[in-house]
Homo-oligomer: A and B are copies of this chain.
Amino acid sequence: MDMQKMGADARQASYQLAMLNTAQKNQALEAIAVQLEQNVSAILAANGKDIEAGRANGLSDALLDRLLLDEGRLAGIIADLRHVIALPDPVGEVIDGCALENGLRLSRRRVPLGVVGTIYEARPNVTIDVAGLCLKTGNAVIMRGGKETIHSNLVLIEQIQAGLENAGLPATAIQYIRDPDRRYVAELLKLDQYVDMIIPRGGAGLHQLCKEQSTIPVITGGIGICHMFVDESAHLDKAVALVENAKVQRPSVCNALDTVLVHQAVAQQFLPKLAQTLAQSKVIGHAEGEAKTWLEQGGMSVEALKAGDFDQEWVSLNLNAKIVADLDEAIAHIRQHTSQHSEAILTQSLHNAERFTHEVDAAAVYVNASTRFTDGGQFGLGAEVAVSTQKLHARGPMGLEALTTYKWIGIGDDLIRA
């Protein structure tokens, strides 16, 4: 693997991509979709090898299910790619503009970032997803997927590159690091001469690695330690439904609830009610003192709080519970433990709602709504590149716009600076 060459090729391809109009980019996306449709059996055969190797290596059933492609799933992935064709193209938008006092006509025009690097784990659909979003926004991309999906990804990338070539574009617009040796991840993270942005899609360890090793700007995120504060004025029945939704609807994702904080004035009334509902979904509580007692009264199984529980992203049917004296204590707790993803208050007090949205620092802050809404699809962004929990460039769900930057364009009539 000659990473310098991959970088230089990607940069060169990015110049060509930046000059395509939307129709040309959509044609290339369609060419890839057709190519995938025409090679379903080759893709599924390669995926079969990954599944076989995964079984031999003792991967869990849950992980094997994430790896698995079948005709239905592949059709879904191709449909998602065609959905990207239908999305509006952010490139070319004039963000703002003006004429300066000196006569310079200045505007900011939205342009592709250039070259994106992405490092991801497990699911082969990410390969198509990222390729499609980058192509739509005129970016070249260098991808590195998990070794568990290497056979699937190599066939997918072959079809993607064939689609690019059918559309008259260079195969180097979408490249894949074929050698699973981790040293190439390290090399990718240092290619700042060629790569403009790194998007890790995976667990906390991957994000930390990128943060520490990359000389390229990294969009970190995806880790959600999410809280809901049930204030004393909350509608308690509705609060039960909201906590249940945030915890149970899809516990494996980053916007699922991790900790419920309950105002002391309503804790004795609320916690047993909540426990009755959560027990039906087999949620395990993590609490101490009265919180533990009252949850157990409602029939929930509750473990004693361990050190670190409040800093845990559960991604499973586990939930911390804590009784707090007031809004101040709730905010202080959240500030200490949040990953700045999604936080919610349930209240009928306008004053407390205002304070919460103002004082809690997170990508998404909710009043009387589930943390589960933090999602590009839900937010109407059309696509989700990632969910950022850092504060630069993009925060929260990132749509196509987050794969662009802008340039300032100044037009003068032979203008010099006085």
Which residues of B lie under 8 Å from residue A397 when comparing CB positions? 408
- C-beta contact mask, A97-126 vs B, less than 8 Å → 1, else 0? 010101010100001011000000000000
Contacting residue for A366 out of B100, B374, B410, CB 8 A: B410
Residue A66 is within 8 A (CB to CB) of chain B in the complex: no
Q: Is B19 a contact partner of A408 (Cβ separation < 8 A)?
A: no
- C-beta contact mask, A401-418 vs B, less than 8 Å → 1, else 0? 000011111111111110
Contacting residue for A379 out of B106, B245, B378, B390, CB 8 A: B106
User: What's the tally of chain A residues with a CB closer than 8 Å to chain B?
Assistant: 70
Residue A184 is within 8 A (CB to CB) of chain B in the complex: no
- C-beta contact mask, A181-200 vs B, less than 8 Å → 1, else 0? 00000000000100011000
Bound: A215/B413 CA distance, A: 44
Q: Is A408 a contact partner of B365 (Cβ separation < 8 A)?
A: yes
Which residues of B lie under 8 Å from residue A417 when comparing CB positions? 245, 249, 370, 372-373, 378
Bound: A391/B402 CA distance, A: 11
Interface CB pairs A-B, < 8 A, 24 = A15-B335, A15-B359, A98-B380, A104-B369, A111-B361, A238-B414, A242-B415, A245-B417, A249-B416, A357-B409, A361-B407, A363-B408, A364-B409, A365-B408, A365-B409, A367-B410, A367-B412, A369-B412, A369-B416, A370-B412, A372-B416, A373-B417, A392-B405, A396-B408
Bound: A51/B122 CA distance, A: 60
Within residues 354 to 398 of chain A, which ones have a CB less than 8 A from any CB in chain B?
357-359, 361-370, 372-374, 378-380, 390-393, 395-397
What residue in chain B is nearest A364 (Cβ atoms)? B408
With known contacts A365-B407, A368-B413, A417-B372, A217–B215 Cβ distance under 8 A: no
Residue A211 is within 8 A (CB to CB) of chain B in the complex: yes
Q: Is A242 a contact partner of B391 (Cβ separation < 8 A)?
A: no
